[in-house]
Amino acid sequence: MPDQQDQTAQTAQTKPWPDRRELARRCRDVTEARWFALTVFAVILLNAALLGLETYSGLVEEWHRWLRLAEHGCLAVFTVEILLRLGAHADRPRDFLRDPWNLFDLAVVLCAFLPVVRENTTVLRLLRLARVLRTARFLPQLRIVLTAVARSLPGTLSFLLVGALLLYVYAMVGWVFFGRHDPGHYGSIGRAVLTLFLLMTLDGIGDAVHAGLEVSRWSLAYYASYVLIASFVLVNVLIGVVITSLDEAREMEREEAADEPAGPAEGPADRLLLLTRITAARRALDDLERGLLQSTTPDAAPDGAPDGAPDGAPDGAPDGEAAPVPLRS
């Protein structure tokens, strides 16, 4: 009896696991369906449209109630979506936390229920604006671009440091040579940096060169070297960093796609066909094993004959000798 009670207790403790797996399977069937992704994507676009409509004050005053109702409806859909995604990972909750898009979606939805966020209109609008970024979850190409931008940040920071150093050096040189003659552009280090930053786009470079030639002919070398380094070398370096990060993001996307399970669960017809094939394979293996045993086992001796005696030999005859033939009278 105690052993039976212990087994019952263990069974009761392990019983929720099949239920959890069943819940995860059903939620996964919903979240992996195409209609589910299209529905969430449409609601995200609707939320973005509602956010744009709120910029028209007259429209907000007239349709305030309906706009609030639509906003609450979008929030309800996003809440159901994140609950279904959580349910799809009920059997493996750690996998849900490993996906950064799941964490982003969870943070966006949870923040909408915080009292501090709901009372602050500006923060709430920014949060609703962040929902638009969730479209990257359903657009692989956009997701690759965002991943590439994120991976290029370290290289971009290095580019910004080099660019800031270049601007500072050329701004100081420009203040020394053109500060007195052109105080509107080079009167201080701040104005010189702003002028050179705008010249980096080659906008107004012709007027700047003509104004510099009135001061000194060496201004041509000053502007030529600056344009060559800032507008061509540094910009090409930045483009190279972004392209490299884009290739890495595409490779990561391919690896994630290769690690994903192959398709949804099989239907009843597929399972029946699979079981039929397994049964036929087992029968074929059994027949093959039976044939191998028959080919390797020696022929059985007849009843009453000693082992090794040929058929028809009398008892006691030496092994291998035939029985004597009786002579007729």
- pLDDT one digit per residue (tens) for the chain, 329 residues: 445 545 544 544 444 455 888 888 888 888 888 888 888 888 888 888 888 888 888 888 888 888 889 888 888 988 898 899 888 888 888 888 888 778 888 888 888 788 776 666 666 667 767 777 776 666 777 777 777 777 777 777 888 888 899 999 999 998 888 888 888 888 888 889 998 888 888 878 888 888 888 887 888 888 889 888 888 888 888 888 888 888 887 887 777 666 655 444 445 566 777 788 888 888 888 888 888 888 776 554 444 444 444 444 444 444 444 444 444 43
Q: Report which DSSP code applies to 202.
A: T
Nearest Cα to Cα of residue 69 among 46, 45, 85: 46
SS3 248: helix
Contact 43, 77 (CB under 8 A): yes
- Each residue of 6-18: b (16+ CB within 10 Å) or e? eeeeeeeeeeeee
Nearest Cα to Cα of residue 135 among 38, 68, 52, 55: 38
Quick one: tokens of 41?
A: 């994507």
- Distance of alpha carbon 198 from the chain centroid: 39
In SS3 terms, 122-168 reads as HHHHHHHHHHHHHHHHCCHHHHHHHHHHHHCHHHHHHHHHHHHHHHH
All structural domains of the chain, each given as residue ranges with its CATH number in brackets, are: 18-138 (1.20.120.350), 151-259 (1.10.287.70)
- Each residue of 305-328: b (16+ CB within 10 Å) or e? eeeebeeebeeebeeeeeeeeeee
> Taking the model in full, what pTM does it have?
0.49
